[in-house]
Amino acid sequence: MQRRCFIQTGAVAVAGIAAAKAAVAERPNILWLTSEDDNVGWVGCYGNPHAETPNIDKLAAEGFQYMHAYANAPVCAPSRSTWITGIHAISMGTHPMRSRYEIPHGLIKYYPDHLRANGYYCGNTPKTDYNIGGRDDKECWNNPQKVDWAALKQKQPFFQVINSNASHESKAQGDVENTLHDPADTQLRKYHPDLPDVRKNYAKYHDAMKTMDAEIGASLQALEAAGLAGNTIVVQCSDHGGVMPRSKRFLFDSGLHCPLIIRIPEKFKALWPAEKTGMKIDRLVSFIDMPKTWLSLTGSNVPGTMQGTIFLGPHTEPEKEFHFAFRGRMDERIDNARAVCDKQFLYIRNYMPYVPWMQHLNYLWKMKATVAWDEYVTAGKASEVEARFFAPKRWTEELYDNRKDPDNVDNLIQNPEYRVVAARMRAGLRSWQETIFDAGLMPESEMVKRAAANHTTIYEMVRNPKLYNLPALINAADVALAKSSMTFPMLMQMIKDPDCGIRYWGAVGCFLVTAKPDGIDALLEDESHEVRAMAAWLLIKTGEKEKGLACMEKMLKEKSYATLSVLNIIDWMGDDGQTLIPLVQTLKLTGDEKRMQADLQTKQVGAPAGNPEKG
């Protein structure tokens, strides 16, 4: 009897797979409706009672709502770089914000290339921002202009992206008076002080979300009017989290956890991820999974270079244990961190724990909430949690229980009850870094310099162990970040290593334990300018200010390729950096360096109190 049931169940499963394959054979259209900068906390169907998102909520009722979807980067360009290739930006060297480093385009096609090869008509309106050099962003699309519904009706099957920027961070900037949304009807994060401008800024963004939702609704109506809804899969998600300060650009849940809703018409019912529409899907989904899944759903070629997991359709792959995310430079501000999460816990590893979480970023400070929060902390009125993120340094490791602490304010990393959880996530991170070839274990300027010297792309360089010894670099970083005097002998060996990446981590380690190594004068003349900058800062920290400042002054005057790092260090030094600011103002700089120059010009002496290492 049991054998008979098994055979019947197997027959049903085979029939289901066959039906799903038949559905894919009919080549569904896909309409991908992307929005910018909004995390799940701004959408009504994800539980915010103050949100006004009726169209997205209705789409969720008609489709399937994914509860654990996460961006791999908490900002647009690295996130979209990951999307277009199906390869982590940190695996290609395209993770620094507003960079255009090349990749081997002969090896790495964009996902629309594969769709077009399979007969799909591909349109994109209007956002690209792929952060990749060597190819025009619009080249991969049949129609990179305004969506042409008549053309879509004639050119099926199609894959059409429509991006709404109504919820972009810029819509939360500027004046916050006279909002349509009542500032009282907001749920403030625990780390935000309850101030009028903060509440008004929340209200302003609720207004922006309402506008974005209306644009989503208009696209869905246009799809219906064109008679295309019955054979079109609709996907709606944001490009990453945000948008209030300490969300976008940060590896906290608020910067990564995104809405994802997929509506699949009755015609393709075999592709449904659950029994009936309106159901919530518990599967862990990473943004890296999306391009691979879209190709699979359309029966297109799925290249082996893609690093995601197919999460929907007849070729669905096993669910991964972890989601991974990364942060590099954000415009003029240098940073380096990684994150790992599952459905409950979030682990963050900060590779630059000697810098604040809330570094002054010109664009972020255009928001009234940021300015109000900053002034409140500076005035000494903030609570420990509210002030913590402006402290001059941060924890090396963070661990949060997202179920109990969605605002990520209770760091559990030193709690012995969570030792096993932390160890599991550390191990997962290390394995992932080695598997995808983490390109961020060297300073950006050195990474670019080494690739150019070897006439290769960063993607290819990090896959060549002779040029980029990833395990050794991860080990060196781990030694440096241990911040233990016991590691000093190892650090002394690291600063003599032939690889400038290892020497860099040796200098960082000496800085973190405040130990001046023998031969530090040689580091001030190191062929790596990034090593010079860290050695100079170490000298300043250990009392030899004149020598350290002289090194930085020389680097600035000689237009070092590490000038952006030097400018950031001047800011991180606090009062010690003030003597170099007059020189900085005389420099002719452009781009991110010019923005840092402007930041330093308005820099105030002193820093808010607070030491997260004691927390």
Q: What are the tokens at 205?
A: 């963004």
Q: Cis omega (within 30 of 0) on the bond before 126?
A: yes
Domains parsed from the chain with CATH numbers: 26-327 (3.40.720.10)
Check: CB of residue 509 under 8 Å from CB of residue 480. yes
User: Which amino acid is it at 108?
Assistant: I
Enumerate the β-bridge partners of residue 161. Answer: 32, 124
Contacts of 543 (CB under 8 A, 6+ apart): none
Distance CA 307, CA 291 (A): 10
User: Which amino acid is it at 136?
Assistant: D
Contacts of 313 (CB under 8 A, 6+ apart): 20, 24, 271, 293, 296, 297
Model pLDDT, residue 6: 33
Model pLDDT, residue 519: 85
The dihedral through the CA atoms of 91, 93, 95, 100 has a sign that is: negative
DSSP-derived 3-state class of residue 40: helix
Model pLDDT, residue 608: 42
Model pLDDT, residue 25: 55
Check: CB of residue 23 under 8 Å from CB of residue 16. no
In eight-state DSSP terms, residue 165 is: -
Question: In Å, how far are 64, 228, 269, 276, 319 from 61, measured between CA atoms?
Answer: 7, 19, 15, 10, 24
Cα diameter, the chain: 87
389-436 pLDDT, tens digit per residue, is 999 999 999 999 999 999 999 999 999 999 999 999 999 999 999 999
Report yes or no on whether pTM surpasses 0.85. Answer: yes
Q: Cis omega (within 30 of 0) on the bond before 243?
A: yes
Alpha helices in 41-194, H assignment, sequence order:
54-62, 76-85, 89-92, 111-117, 149-154
Model pLDDT, residue 603: 74
For 528-560, the DSSP string reads: -HHHHHHHHHHHHHTT-HHHHHHHHHHHHHTT-
Model pLDDT, residue 261: 98
Check: CB of residue 311 under 8 Å from CB of residue 289. yes
- What radius of gyration, in Å, describes the C-alpha atoms of the chain? 25
213-257 pLDDT, tens digit per residue, is 999 999 999 999 999 999 999 999 999 999 999 999 999 999 999
Distance CA 441, CA 476 (A): 9
Check: CB of residue 292 under 8 Å from CB of residue 315. no
User: Which amino acid is it at 78?
Assistant: P
User: Which amino acid is it at 460?
Assistant: E
Question: In Å, how far are 8, 9, 10, 111 from 3, measured between CA atoms?
Answer: 9, 10, 10, 44
Low-confidence ranges of the chain (pLDDT < 50): 1-16, 18-24, 604-615
In this structure, the strands spanning 232-238 and 158-164 are unpaired
Enumerate the β-bridge partners of residue 400. Answer: 346
Distance CA 238, CA 207 (A): 16
Best CA proximity match to 246, nearest among 256, 238, 258, 237: 256
End-to-end CA distance of the chain: 61
Model pLDDT, residue 26: 82
Per-residue three-class SS string for 294-349? HHHHCCCCCCCCCCCCCCCCCCCCCCCCCEEEEECCECCECCCEEEEECCCEEEEE
In eight-state DSSP terms, residue 466 is: T
Distance CA 501, CA 409 (A): 33
Give φ, ψ of 500 to 5 degrees: -65, -25
Check: CB of residue 312 under 8 Å from CB of residue 304. no
Burial class (CB in 10 A: 0-12, 13-18, 19+), 453: exposed
Contacts of 378 (CB under 8 A, 6+ apart): 608
Model pLDDT, residue 23: 44
User: Which amino acid is it at 575?
Assistant: D
Model pLDDT, residue 165: 97
Best CA proximity match to 501, nearest among 482, 474, 538, 525: 474
167-223 pLDDT, tens digit per residue, is 999 999 999 999 999 999 999 999 999 999 999 999 999 999 999 999 999 999 999
Distance CA 61, CA 74 (A): 27
